[in-house]
Amino acid sequence: MSMSDTRLQLSGAHKDLLAAWAQVRESWRDDVALAFYERSIEPIDRALHNAANALEQMDEILRAIRSECNEQSNY
């Protein structure tokens, strides 16, 4: 599995999480819901965003490495 495939999978899971939370919030609107969001959902949201960015950076690095290796093998 490539980094971009993993990033797409992660992005899909992130969208699913946010959609599920939006559905829950339709009926759960008290202070406990807000505390749950701040303690549980928000950190996961940030972590998924950071992981997606890291995967994108790693994918760029790997592409550059492959390109360099291909250039060197042509000599």
**Which pLDDT tens digit goes with each residue over 31-43?**
999 999 999 999 9
Q: How far apart are CA 49 and CA 43, in angstroms?
A: 10
Q: 43: how many CB neighbours lie within 10 A of its CB?
A: 11
CA-to-CA dists, residue 42 to 6, 19, 26, 30, 61, angstroms: 21, 14, 17, 17, 29
Helix intervals (H) in 1-75: 3-25, 31-36, 42-73
Q: What's this model's pTM, rounded to 2 decimal places?
A: 0.75
Q: What is the pLDDT of residues 53-67, one digit of tens each?
A: 999 999 999 999 999
Of the pLDDT bands very low, low, confident and very high (cuts 50, 70, 90), residue 6 is confident
